[in-house]
Amino acid sequence: MGSLQLQSIRKSFGNQDVLKGIDLDVKDGEFVIFVGPSGCGKSTLLRVIAGLEDASSGSVRIDGKEVSAVPPAKRGIAMVFQSYALYPHLTVKDNMGLGLKQVGETKAVIDQRVAKASAMLSLDPYLARRPSEMSGGQRQRVAIGRAIVREPKLFLFDEPLSNLDAALRVQTRLEIAGLHRRLKATMIYVTHDQVEAMTLADKIVVLNAGQVEQVGSPMELYNKPTNLFVAGFIGSPQMNFISAEKLGQSGAKTIGIRPEHIALSREAGEWKGKVIHVEHLGADTIVYLEAETTGLLTVRLFGEHAYAPDDIVHATPDTVLMHRFDAEGRAIS
């Protein structure tokens, strides 16, 4: 009851093409995450789906029904904004109930649905407050509550957690994951945060400059990126890219190897190099080294390691996990 199909969606502002033909198929109940660099058109795409912006061409279907001529309120969607966007003059309860009031639901129905949502999000003590009397985390929960109350087919989230501090972000992320399990609704979620993307998504859509680079499950994107952009965008720290020439390999232009797939040793290994910087993160140690053959390499080691700048080390890549890309940046399988 909440599928979404996008067909060659294009959007231009003046002569600037922001979306350049987006095709996407979202199945009922899926949790889909849009990631991509700033300005690549994620929010614009979300607004097109919501009907807040008209696409220049292409079609949006919700539940198999073409919605290009349907206003946002009638599309069966709900949206949560980065800036919360709560109505400042209404109490929490009225904020959550406004959408239902507009479609003429009875007070009993509204009260019951608001009560259900506020119980889900532990908002009961705050129902009579106004947004200005609440903390950022509480406001974002109200915004999520306002979406739930409408019982939409499709939830749209535009970077909902980016104004929250780290601890609150983890907590709210868990709440959203729980919500998705319980409501079994389709959710589309925009984020900058890799961890959010990897942990929440059934399916990640990587966007770049108004185009879809790759669609797949988090592990597919991590293990089998189809091009250099996705390989570099997914995974942190970023994948090492080494020109194939330097390694004397033929049939590829660039070789990619993730920092966690390189082993370090003081005695022997494939690439000799000098440590230039070390970051100790407790669970991980990130070592940056200048290797003779490959140039700058990032290596991620699990646990604590006593490497220090200027140490001479030897790095050995796990050849099975290497990625190979051709001159156009496409992955070679």
Partner 1 sequence: MSNARTAPVRTALIHLALLSYTVIALFPVFLTVVNSFKSRAAIFREPMAVPSPATFSLIGYETVLKQGDFLGYFQNSMIVTIASIALVLLFGAMAAFALSEYRFRGNLLMGLYLALGIMIPIRLGTVAILQGMVATGLVNTRTALVLVYTAQGLPLAIFILSEFMRTVSDDLKNAGRIDGLSEYSIFFRLVLPLVRPAMATVAVFTMIPIWNDLWFPLILAPGEATKTVTLGAQMFIGQYVTNWNAVLAALSLAIMPVMILYVIFSRQLIRGITAGAVK
For the bound state, the minimum distance from the C-beta of residue 234 to ligand ATP, rounded and expressed in Å, comes to 16
Strand partners, 248: none
Candidate ranges 76-84, 111-119, 202-210, 305-313; the one touching partner 1 (CB under 8 A): 76-84
Determine which residue in the list 4, 6, 9, 18 makes contact with ligand ATP, applying CB under 6 A.
Answer: 18
Smaller CB separation from partner 1, 57 or 102: 102
Q: State which amino acid sits at residue 210.
A: G
Sign of CA dihedral 103, 111, 183, 202: positive
- Applying CB under 6 A, the span of 40-48, 64-72, 215-223, 300-308 interacting with ligand ATP comes to 40-48
Helix (H, G, I), strand (E, B) or coil at 10: strand
Cβ contacts of 140 within 8 Å, gap of 6 or more: 80, 84, 160, 161, 163, 164, 172
With CB cut-offs between 5 and 8 Å by kind, which of partner 1, ligand ATP, Mg ion, none does residue 38 bind? ligand ATP
Calpha distance 257→322 (Å, rounded): 5
The pair of three-digit structure tokens given for residue 14, joined into one six-digit string: 């003046």
39 binding partner (options ligand ATP, Mg ion, partner 1, none; Cβ < 5 to 8 Å by kind): ligand ATP
- Classified as helix, coil or strand, 100 is helix
* Tokens describing residue 12: 């231009």
What's the rounded Cα separation, in Å, for the pair 275 and 291? 9
Distance CA 247, CA 249 (A): 5
If one asks whether residue 42 binds ligand ATP (CB under 6 A), the answer comes out as yes
User: For the window 90-119, what string marks contact with partner 1 as x by the rule CB under 8 A?
Assistant: --------xx--xx----------------
Contacts with ligand ATP, residue ranges (CB under 6 A): 13, 18, 36, 38-44
Contacts with partner 1, residue ranges (CB under 8 A): 47, 50, 52, 71-74, 77-79, 81-89, 98-99, 102-103, 130-134, 136, 139, 146, 150, 163
